[in-house]
Amino acid sequence: MDVVSSTNGNDKKMIASLVNFVNNRYRVDQLNEKISLLEKLVMIMSGNSNTNQEQAFVVSELIATNKQDSLIGLKEMVKELPTSMTFLVDSYLSSFTYSMFDAGAIYDTDLWNNKLSQFCSSNLASNYPFANSKDELGLSEYKELMSKSSDLMNYINNNVLPFVIKDKSGLLTIKEINGVKFPFDKHLFKQINVISQLNALTKNNNNSAEDKLNMTVGLTPVLLSNDLSGIDIMYDNKKHGYFNGPQYQQDFYWPATNNDTNGTVQIIWHYKNKEDVKNVYTGPWSLINFLSHFEYNQKDDTYTIKFNKSFATYQISTKGKGSINSLGSLENLQCKF
Q: Is residue 193 part of a domain?
A: no
Closest CA to 219 of 312, 97, 92: 312
Q: Are 234 and 268 within 8 A, CB to CB?
A: yes
In this prediction, residue 238 carries a pLDDT of: 92
Rounded distance, CA 206 to CA 226, Å? 40
Q: Is residue 90 part of a domain?
A: yes
Q: Is residue 276 part of a domain?
A: yes
What torsion do the CA atoms of 298, 302, 307, 311 make, to the nearest 10 degrees? -120
Strands 310-318 and 215-224: antiparallel
What are the angstrom distances between the C-alpha of 179 and each of 62, 85, 91, 117, 266? Answer: 16, 17, 9, 31, 51
Q: Is residue 309 part of a domain?
A: yes
pLDDT tens, residue order, the chain (337 aa): 443 344 445 544 544 443 444 445 545 566 566 666 655 555 555 555 545 788 788 778 877 887 545 455 555 555 666 666 667 677 777 887 888 899 899 999 999 999 999 988 888 888 888 877 778 889 999 999 999 899 999 999 999 999 999 998 899 999 999 899 999 999 999 989 989 999 999 998 777 667 889 999 999 999 999 999 999 999 999 999 998 777 899 999 999 987 666 789 999 999 999 999 999 999 899 999 999 999 999 999 999 999 999 999 999 999 878 888 877 666 667 888 9
Domain-terminating residue out of 71, 104, 137? 104
271: domain CATH number is: 2.60.40
23: domain CATH number is: 1.20.58
Q: How many other CB atoms are found less than 10 A from the CB of residue 49?
A: 4
For helices 69-77 and 83-111, the axis angle rounded to 10 degrees is: 160
In this prediction, residue 78 carries a pLDDT of: 55
String of DSSP letters for 304-333: EEEETTEEEEEEEEESSS--GGGGGG-SS-
Q: Which domain holds residue 72?
A: 9-104
Q: Is residue 28 part of a domain?
A: yes
H/E stretch holding 105 reads: helix 83-111
What is the number of domains present in the chain? 2
Q: Is residue 38 part of a domain?
A: yes
In this prediction, residue 174 carries a pLDDT of: 98
In this prediction, residue 41 carries a pLDDT of: 57
Closest CA to 28 of 101, 85, 100: 85
In this prediction, residue 292 carries a pLDDT of: 92
Q: Is residue 183 part of a domain?
A: no
Q: Is residue 310 part of a domain?
A: yes
Q: Are 168 and 175 within 8 A, CB to CB?
A: no
Query: Quick one: DSSP state of residue 136?
Result: B
